[in-house]
Structure 1
Amino acid sequence: MNLSRSAAAALGAALLFGASTPFAKQLVGNMPPVLLAGLLYLGSGVGLWAFRLVRERTVAVPRLSGREWLWLLGAIASGGIFGPVLLMVGLSHTSASQASLLLNLEAVLTAVLAWVVFHENADRRIVIGMCLIVAGGVLLTLPQNAMFASGGTLGNLAVAAACLCWALDNNLTRKVSATDAVFLAGTKGLIAGVTNTSIALALGYSLPAWSLTVESMVVGLAGYGVSLVLFVLALRGLGSARTGAYFSTAPFMGAAIAIMGYGESTPVAFWIAAVLMAAGVWLHLTERHDHLHTHEPLLHSHRHVHDEHHQHHHDFPWDGTEPHTHEHRHEAITHRHPHYPDIHHQHRHPR
């Protein structure tokens, strides 16, 4: 997947997720947060698995190693169960536009985890960009901001905690991003949806009217399902930190929808924070990374064409159709070109 298509996938994911935030804000007053989170992901899982069954007419599970299953289950727990519940709690204590802008912290936390914990490269531009985005997020939580008058502190902390959960989810999902994206997103949606909905029912809550249930699931299919499929595709080509940078445009899209569609007020601090965050995003998106690097031998399976990274023979009949998917081996190669920490460029960098 080339850079432009990866960027387009990340921006598409951002648009869908950003648009879902103000819609979820309208729904959160009609049901408890844990139930809404369950229905959002349940809609995602049911919709994507239905699409997969129609597309492939099979329930075949992609071949994953034991370690990859652990990465996937960790991503589902952090991003599919805890993250959505925290966001719904946050939305019940703050406005959709403020929550949408604060969600930019996900990109920063994703980059920090990718750099510090998962050893993904982050240069000076990435660090400066993260600092600007953090500054914008901090500005939203200053005491003079009107959101504190109505319990905004709890809402902000809950949204920030959701961002941390999704940051961990993003980095864990990157570990399995070469796998079928629809399978990953659909499985995450089903497990997270069934878990959170079951918890809500066990706590004594009841399903809302069918119209609200269906509306919640449709919002979840678009904002949590299709969005995640596009996000996984972007992870393959950009890595966690860079995909997170593109995805951080989601809060601006969500805030714009909340302001224009629902007439929410916008304090001066909101616009200052928006400028800071926009500058940080611009630094992320205009980074260029180019150096001599070595690819270690690698065996994996994903959709590909025979570019400079895929010069291999086939041990099965092949009609020349590209792109195609099969298990293939990468031999060691050393070369130089602009690149990002995609599934083929996960090498260490000297400090």
Structure 2
Amino acid sequence: MEQLKGKLYLMSAFALAGTSVIAARFVTGHLGTFTITATSLLLASLALLPLCRRNLRKAIPLMSVRDWVTLLLQALCGIFLFRMFLLQGLLHTSSGEAGVLTGATPAATTLFAWLLLKEPLSTKSLFGILSTIAGILLLQGILVPGNALTMNHLIGNILVLCAAVSESLFNILSRISSLRIITDRSNPLNPIVQTMLVSAIALLLCLIPSLFEHPVWSLMSLGIIEWLALVWYGIFVTALAFMFWYAGIKRCTAYTAAAFSGMMPLTSLVLSVLLLGEHIGWHQWSGGLLVMLGMLLIGGCQTNMQPTKLLDLSASK
């Protein structure tokens, strides 16, 4: 039952995360990268604070230096770097391609688990990684005969891939943190409290660079659609999605999370066509299918791995 709940939480988290590309498209070009991130995080924090104020006062005095460092790294990789790369990439590539390219996260997560945690890399996982790479090359047009490769487009897709790598580091950090809590038999942070603290830390990281983007004047010039996109980015993509993520990753393995991360590029691709009216060519659909196949191969071969086995692997390092 707990694993089923965890899977539902993860599915909801990645479905909401998939809308981040669409929400960002409405404000990219109107606001600076760090202004978008800081404003959405401020909105998320304001929504979360009334829900966790009492638990927050109890949790903070009990937190160690290691707990704060873990949250700092999660905020840096999962929010600050991820959104910086994604928002910059959207200036040079389409929302549909950006959404699909975030599907490289499972492949990067598997590679990090193999390189950093020394976890075994199965043949199925290896084929999943190769399928993801082929899909990315097809999306970029490198495997399409006669397709002209534009540097601007390439830079945009590379930036989105950097966002996927940042998200992968966040996944690994989150799972290591969950396993450490089990090993130490300590009380885990409430998902709402954890989301609140990570959002607040990421907000502090964004404040100084956002000041160079003239945020007050830019925000005052926004229309209702842009403000609604910011509210969605803050409340749903940040607050609610991260709450679901922390609730799910405590019940499932990192590889299970990788399997469900397919909801993110799928949601982004479909919404890009339906809401933004973007045209998706055959090579983009084919590349997207290869990326999603890679996610299924990577996640499917490891979803039956028990958390205790992963715990043993990490504790032995």
Task: Report the counterpart of residue 157 of structure 2 in structure 1.
Answer: 156
Deviations 1:297-343 (A, max 9, x none): xxxxxxxxxxxxxxxxxxxxxxxxxxxxxxxxxxxxxxxxx54336x
Please state how far the C-alpha of 1:49 moved relative to its aligned partner.
2.5
* Closer/same/farther in 2, CA of residues 16 and 124 from structure 1, 3 Å limit: same
1:122-137 to 2 correspondences below 5 Å: 122-137=121-136
Task: Report the counterpart of residue 186 of structure 1 in structure 2.
Answer: 196
Task: Report the counterpart of residue 67 of structure 1 in structure 2.
Answer: 66
Letter in 2 for 1:83: F
Gaps of 5+ in 1: 290-337
CA distance in 1, matches of 2:283, 2:16: 26
Percent same amino acid among aligned pairs? 18
CA distance in 2, matches of 1:60, 1:176: 20
CA distance in 1, matches of 2:125, 2:48: 33
The answer to whether the 8 Å contact 2:48/2:239 transfers is yes
SS at 2:132 equivalent: helix
Gaps of 5+ in 2: 179-187
Higher RCO, 1 or 2 (CA under 8 Å, sep at least 6)?
A: 2
Please state how far the C-alpha of 1:97 moved relative to its aligned partner.
0.6
Please state how far the C-alpha of 1:20 moved relative to its aligned partner.
2.3
Task: Report the counterpart of residue 174 of structure 2 in structure 1.
Answer: 173
2:39 maps to 1:11:
no
CA distance in 1, matches of 2:17, 2:247: 15
Pick the structure with greater CA Rg: 1
The answer to whether the 8 Å contact 2:109/2:168 transfers is yes
Deviations 1:257-301 (A, max 9, x none): 111111101011111112212322332343367xxxxxxxxxxxx
* Closer/same/farther in 2, CA of residues 6 and 273 from structure 1, 3 Å limit: same
Please state how far the C-alpha of 1:256 moved relative to its aligned partner.
0.2
CA distance in 1, matches of 2:209, 2:66: 28
CA distance in 2, matches of 1:34, 1:73: 17
Task: Looking at secondary structure, tell me which structure has more helix per residue.
Answer: 2
* Closer/same/farther in 2, CA of residues 281 and 164 from structure 1, 3 Å limit: closer
The answer to whether the 8 Å contact 1:45/1:188 transfers is no
Please state how far the C-alpha of 1:239 moved relative to its aligned partner.
2.4
CA distance in 2, matches of 1:81, 1:109: 18
2:297 maps to 1:283:
yes
* Closer/same/farther in 2, CA of residues 191 and 57 from structure 1, 3 Å limit: closer
Please state how far the C-alpha of 1:198 moved relative to its aligned partner.
3.5
Task: Report the counterpart of residue 33 of structure 2 in structure 1.
Answer: 33
SS at 1:237 equivalent: coil
CA distance in 2, matches of 1:60, 1:214: 34
Correspondence for 2:244 among 230, 234, 241: 230
* Closer/same/farther in 2, CA of residues 221 and 202 from structure 1, 3 Å limit: same
Please state how far the C-alpha of 1:28 moved relative to its aligned partner.
0.8
Task: Report the counterpart of residue 219 of structure 2 in structure 1.
Answer: 208
Task: Report the counterpart of residue 260 of structure 2 in structure 1.
Answer: 246
SS at 1:93 equivalent: coil
CA distance in 2, matches of 1:147, 1:250: 28
Letter in 1 for 2:193: F
* Closer/same/farther in 2, CA of residues 46 and 115 from structure 1, 3 Å limit: farther
The answer to whether the 8 Å contact 1:41/1:190 transfers is yes
The answer to whether the 8 Å contact 1:42/1:194 transfers is no
Letter in 2 for 1:266: I
The answer to whether the 8 Å contact 1:96/1:255 transfers is yes
The answer to whether the 8 Å contact 2:82/2:166 transfers is yes
SS at 1:179 equivalent: coil
CA distance in 2, matches of 1:102, 1:58: 36
Deviations 1:103-135 (A, max 9, x none): 011221122112220234543323322221222
Q: TM-score, normalised by structure 1?
A: 0.76
Please state how far the C-alpha of 1:149 moved relative to its aligned partner.
4.5
Q: TM-score, normalised by structure 2?
A: 0.84
The answer to whether the 8 Å contact 2:112/2:169 transfers is yes
2:208 maps to 1:198:
yes
The answer to whether the 8 Å contact 1:42/1:217 transfers is no
Please state how far the C-alpha of 1:87 moved relative to its aligned partner.
0.6
Task: Looking at secondary structure, tell me which structure has more strand per residue.
Answer: 1
* Closer/same/farther in 2, CA of residues 36 and 255 from structure 1, 3 Å limit: same
Please state how far the C-alpha of 1:76 moved relative to its aligned partner.
1.2
CA distance in 2, matches of 1:197, 1:148: 36
**Cα RMSD, aligned residues only:** 2.7
2:121 maps to 1:110:
no
The answer to whether the 8 Å contact 1:115/1:122 transfers is yes
Please state how far the C-alpha of 1:201 moved relative to its aligned partner.
1.5
